[in-house]
Structure 1
């Protein structure tokens, strides 16, 4: 393996060193206290890491009333401060005081309540220093994409209550914003007991609403630009009898119009939560959500289409004409999703705790996109499109519009984490456990003629399906993992050392199949399998200098395996990609007093077998490997507490990310080597900055925020770039005094893109060069755009305003 630029040790040497340090720290942690304290004093330079609190991470909401020892009580309170709902915040909730020995960036409930009810978790964290958020709409109908320290959301663990949830593109499936208590991002870290296989870019975890102690609820109504209308209601059961069981049920309905081009979108969503606490500190929690959505699949423009829109106003969206193959009803997504997680934390006798967290998600639906016009040339291959007969035996005449489908009969993820914790002595807590997951997708790609009204007929409508074989794939993996970690506290809990190790064993498969054996299609009947193992050490040390200051060092190994859906876009008989592996280090400092909070972290990543994703249309991506990369930089956050009603916030990130390998362009007619070594890594802006200001006076509240992202490369060859840009949001509102049964009547206005800027916020994926042939046609007008147009882009939605009225009762 080629050594990374600027590295002193190879990837293998650094991994071995980190594993050794973790083992030594774990051994030392069990030495007598005075001996260990002396050793710790001589070992100050050790790098290290503590993940999320083991009890909190696996058990979801840990809110024990008592424990079986003073150490257990202290540990449950102190370790989980990274997820503490009552932790002190600044900047109106845009920053929270943290003590975890790794970078943690959190937005709290105060800030969430000021934002629009249509916000997704991505909308809420867009002003954190390590993130650049790209959203295709301002109404929360879809999610978006993330850039973080030179990596993307496909490298991150996106979770709800510590369980893996929907991808960033579909973040709206997970939960309504009214039921979000906080959203935390650990940009360079993932606890060893988390059920995640893609955590090179860290973790984003959303904490759900805790059911109320009393019967009641809340309701809100929202209206806004693009014909937005949204209704939400949540009912709280309160404590049921004297059982200690509490629950809530919520429902929302959202409707809006596409901001670019024609089309309407519809979303219906249910959240349900149940909570039970016992006097000894045990608890059980269940969260269930259901989401049904029909939305227009956006057309993401090429550079040429973007500038045409910017300079002439000519849009690139879907057509309102039913005769056009780009008709919006021939470009839509129909999807149903169920998500469930049920963490349980049990306090056992003799200093033992047991945690188990089962989780389950299941999705089913289909996407439709233009399949071209019979008799015309294919936009990608240039060959004529032929469709002689449909499934009823009727000839399909030239000039007939076609639909290509992405039919996913099953997108299933089921798993569980089980963990046992033991207080060895008053200084040490040992935990170990097992994680199992099975993930599978079954997908196919039929073609059909459009219906008489120009709309997609649906992939199961045999009357309109073009005859012949339908090619599909079944891809997935089964994963087993063992983990162990020991946490030690010394010097009156000022010194914290955590050593952990996780070993992952995965069996992945990818199989092609035919729905009709009459013809032979490329890839049909082929299959591939691969067994992989990944060692993931973790080590951290933090020291509380005084009541105001803390330092920490953190190091760990993380990896990314292509997801089941990713593999579904790869050749079933072809070789599988090697897993991406990262070695990461952080050095951090925090300071706080009654006026200000400061949080600074330095980071260094070395990534081997870097996996990037090329956008292939229909909201899907095809993974490819581009060698090694190095990412180095720092994050800085500062926030003030309220002074005369004003609470300021600011953050900045500097990132120096380089491509450490030359890459073969396999999309070119004649493949050639791109001399990319030493260039700026793709999708890794060097500067990101944020400023926010919150003001409250009696019932009035306001929050304004500005985000800046610097220039970035959007091609591996570094020959296609986008300039820096600024985005902004504004929230204004008033809390009226309670009257009657209305406990918190509130009116607020939320604005995005106040200046109406027309800017590209990021690339949809990776391409080799600006002349790269996209593997999907970019539709504009009645036909697809020319090939060889480089990348496609996310564009900041136009000015949007949402007005909301709400109250609890």
Structure 2
């Protein structure tokens, strides 16, 4: 298999107030790095009329390149911060990001895909693993398949957590008996800025991304961001391509200390060709050329125009945190998530003596006038359309009471449909 090469170019336009901090150096503390500006006076100031200034800039490095996130709760959690995510491919999904974490085995159909992936964590299969985005269940509620490419752009991911073993009691994933994957988005910036990125690579891969942060609007305590992206790639095996359009947005409002609200929205529309799964004999004969055909011939159900997936997702959440004092607080989140198709496949349909499910028919209705009908052929080439959608919505209420030695008692209520 050819190595996947991806080159990225990033432009950043930002409006930020400069922050300068004075810092005294301590020669006895070797190896310690502190952010700031160190101002020193040269010995030449006493002997020369002119002065020389040396400015030393330093940036605090994130522990473990963003793979060692500090946790204070007694749970087995592996986390990835945005510092690590930002160094990966712009087309990365949640599955590809966590595949190197302990106990995680994940696979997808290709470097860029819009369909679901396969995950195993410590031997637990997909049906025993919960997936959430900002507290919303992010898996198909019927099959538990995850469509993480439809959830969030990697540029907007704030943190990804993998909880091995027992899951968070506040999670709305009732199937998560073995592990949980939770992701969060980057919050709107305090400063107004625009971020633009473009990338390209082999197999005609490219991704264009733009994000706009409003900063705090006046002195209202309101901040927001909106982003959009477009990505495409040729399928690495056979004919066809993959296209994806995505939008992320969030708006936050700080009412007072300890009281805030947040609205989150996401939209995805994607289209890609269908993968054909080769046998060993197919692979030895055709290799990476085995797949859909770009030219149609009579009776060819593997024509690229007859096979594909048009998938998409729409989600929204309204999150609120209320503090009542005396250690009492309430988290309330209303959410709704929709995944939809359709999938479509090339199919040969008998003109006579065929079946619709378990029911047999004598002839297709008005078969003599159907496109492509030939009396010499007993079958017609058609498209089987599987139009599906799932909706998961609910309201999660979690109450907290912190008393004395930072002990915490939580009471959860959750409704969904």
Q: 1:244 maps to which residue?
A: 221
Which of 327, 331, 334 is the aligned partner of 2:303? 327
The 1:243–1:387 alpha-carbon spacing in structure 2 relative to 1, beyond 3 Å, is farther
The 1:387–1:109 alpha-carbon spacing in structure 2 relative to 1, beyond 3 Å, is farther
The 1:392–1:165 alpha-carbon spacing in structure 2 relative to 1, beyond 3 Å, is farther
- The answer to whether residue 381 in structure 2 is matched with residue 401 in structure 1 is yes
Q: Tell me the CA shift for residue 306 of structure 1.
A: 3.7
- The answer to whether residue 199 in structure 2 is matched with residue 229 in structure 1 is no
The 1:200–1:300 alpha-carbon spacing in structure 2 relative to 1, beyond 3 Å, is farther
Q: Tell me the CA shift for residue 128 of structure 1.
A: 0.5
Q: Distance in 2 between matches of 1:165 and 1:321?
A: 38
Q: Tell me the CA shift for residue 299 of structure 1.
A: 2.2
Which has the higher mean CA deviation after the structures are superposed, 283-292 or 162-171?
162-171
- The answer to whether residue 265 in structure 2 is matched with residue 288 in structure 1 is yes
Q: Distance in 1 between matches of 2:349 and 2:232?
A: 31
Q: 2:126 maps to which residue?
A: 153
Normalising by the residue count of structure 2, what TM-score does the alignment of the two structures yield? 0.76
The 1:108–1:386 alpha-carbon spacing in structure 2 relative to 1, beyond 3 Å, is farther
The 1:200–1:418 alpha-carbon spacing in structure 2 relative to 1, beyond 3 Å, is same
Q: Tell me the CA shift for residue 358 of structure 1.
A: 0.8
The 1:94–1:309 alpha-carbon spacing in structure 2 relative to 1, beyond 3 Å, is farther
Q: Tell me the CA shift for residue 366 of structure 1.
A: 1.0
Q: 1:411 maps to which residue?
A: 390
Q: 2:408 maps to which residue?
A: 429
Q: How many residues align?
A: 345
The 1:96–1:421 alpha-carbon spacing in structure 2 relative to 1, beyond 3 Å, is closer
Q: Distance in 1 between matches of 2:271 and 2:189?
A: 32
- The answer to whether residue 153 in structure 2 is matched with residue 179 in structure 1 is no
Instruction: Please state whether the residue corresponding to 1:234 is helix, strand or coil.
Output: strand
Kept in 1: contact 2:130–2:139 (CA 8 A): no
Q: Which aligned pairs between 1:110-259 and structure 2 lie closer than 5 A?
A: 110-167=83-140, 168-259=145-236
Q: Distance in 1 between matches of 2:379 and 2:400?
A: 67
Moved over 6 A (4+): 375-378
1:224-248 Cα shifts (integer Å, max 9, x gaps):
1111121110011110110111000
Gaps of 5+ in 2: 1-59
1:776-796 Cα shifts (integer Å, max 9, x gaps):
xxxxxxxxxxxxxxxxxxxxx
- The answer to whether residue 410 in structure 2 is matched with residue 420 in structure 1 is no
The two structures, once aligned, show a CA RMSD in angstroms of: 2.9
Q: 1:343 maps to which residue?
A: 319
Kept in 2: contact 1:166–1:173 (CA 8 A): no
Q: 2:242 maps to which residue?
A: 265
Q: Tell me the CA shift for residue 89 of structure 1.
A: 5.5
Q: Distance in 2 between matches of 1:387 and 1:224?
A: 51
Q: Distance in 1 between matches of 2:185 and 2:363?
A: 50
Higher RCO, 1 vs 2 (CA within 8 Å, ≥6 residues apart) = 1
- The answer to whether residue 335 in structure 2 is matched with residue 362 in structure 1 is no
Q: Tell me the CA shift for residue 140 of structure 1.
A: 4.4
Q: Distance in 2 between matches of 1:392 and 1:411?
A: 38
Kept in 2: contact 1:415–1:436 (CA 8 A): yes
The 1:247–1:359 alpha-carbon spacing in structure 2 relative to 1, beyond 3 Å, is same
Instruction: Please state whether the residue corresponding to 2:276 is helix, strand or coil.
Output: coil
Instruction: Please state whether the residue corresponding to 1:309 is helix, strand or coil.
Output: helix
Instruction: Please state whether the residue corresponding to 1:101 is helix, strand or coil.
Output: coil
The 1:103–1:110 alpha-carbon spacing in structure 2 relative to 1, beyond 3 Å, is same
Normalising by the residue count of structure 1, what TM-score does the alignment of the two structures yield? 0.40
The 1:314–1:186 alpha-carbon spacing in structure 2 relative to 1, beyond 3 Å, is closer
